[in-house]
Amino acid sequence: MHRDLEQLKEIGWSGIILDEAQNIKNPDTRQARAARSLTADYRIALTGTPVENNVGELWSIMDFLNPGFLGNATEFRRRFLLPIQKGSDAAAQQLRKLTAPFLLRRLKTDTSVIQDLPEKMEMKVFCNLTPEQASLYKSVVEDAARSLEAAEGIKRKGVILAALTKLKQVCNHPAQFLGDESPLPGRSGKLSRLTEMVEELLSEGDRALIFTQFTGMGERLQKHLSSTFGEDVLFLHGGVPAAKRDKMVERFQNGGEGNPRLFVLSLKAGGTGLNLTAANHVFHFDRWWNPAVENQATDRAFRIGQKRKVQTHKFVCVGTLEERIEEMIERKKAVADHVIGAGEAWLTELSTAEIKQLFALRQEAVS
């Protein structure tokens, strides 16, 4: 849109309809500014995730639809964004009341929308760390604790986010954290559990999507699952050209003898815009800790056209930050269901004592 803006502005539009409207969630991008600059008699925004990280994204979409209705960005931040991030239910309720008249929300669980969509079952899969993982985990925590003592402001946030990434990599697999090509079997509780579950579902004739936010881990999963089960395993990531991606989707959806039954996807590349109803299992191998983003990914399989029950498996390493953050998100869900997505940025606002408690390794972590 921003590339063709000059031509688009010359046209008197009856209406403007934005599909995948979360693409204007950042009001300062050229795309968002271009959308706001067009004139039309009416405006409609279509999106499955109006809020992915924080309610500031909702402001950007609403400001396209009804300019000025929620005030300017600074006022919105003061009245809603900051209070909601601090857990104010009153601010969340007020924002919901203001925006509700402009929202038409479709839920797949609503039988008036679709009557024959099968159920979606969601379960947590709790995994232990191996001794190797536990040793690496403790090392990362100790390094982060030392860095936190001397860090302030933006630098402190950077230390926390870097530690989060490293700890998630350790929970996934030592080889991912170390960045080497060392052997995979027997070194990760998550990988061992995934292998067991995939063996079982393949024996039942089922198909699965396996999401990870790390391209490097996706490559390792593809190689491991392919060599373990002697099957062609697909892997979609941001570097895959559109034509090749479409061919992958077609092969997976066609089913049939010899076609792939396992599809590994990076969360960013495969989380939206794909129809993969041939799968009836969805694995979240590592977590984005954002219910909106994870649900969008699950909906690649749980969508109109699905004929079987969809089972969603969310992996959590017990005794680690993964379990603690899972508990925190569950407590926040009552507020989150109003207007909030739960990204990772809010974790950087925790005190140093809270961060240390969050990162600490508990005894039950190791199998």
Give pTM, 2 decimals: 0.71
Q: CATH fold of 120-365, please?
A: Rossmann fold (3.40.50)
116 SS3 class: coil
Vertex 118, ends 114 and 124: CA angle to 5°? 125
Note whether 5-102 and 120-365 share their fold: yes
Residue-by-residue DSSP string for 318-352: TTSHHHHHHHHHHHHHHHHTTT----SGGGGGS-H
Instruction: Give the integer Cα–Cα distance in Å for 136 and 365.
Output: 13
Sign of CA dihedral 169, 164, 298, 193: positive
Domain boundaries of the chain, sorted by first residue: 5-102, 120-365
pLDDT value of position 282: 93
Tokens found for residue 43: 């405006």
Instruction: Give the integer Cα–Cα distance in Å for 8 and 2.
Output: 9
Which residues lie across from 21 on neighbouring strands?
Answer: none
363 SS3 class: helix
Longest dimension (CA), the chain: 66
Name residue 48's amino acid.
Answer: G
Instruction: Give the integer Cα–Cα distance in Å for 228 and 200.
Output: 13
Residues of the chain scoring pLDDT < 70: 52-53, 106-118, 304-305, 331-346, 367
Instruction: Give the integer Cα–Cα distance in Å for 182 and 176.
Output: 9
Q: CATH fold of 5-102, please?
A: Rossmann fold (3.40.50)
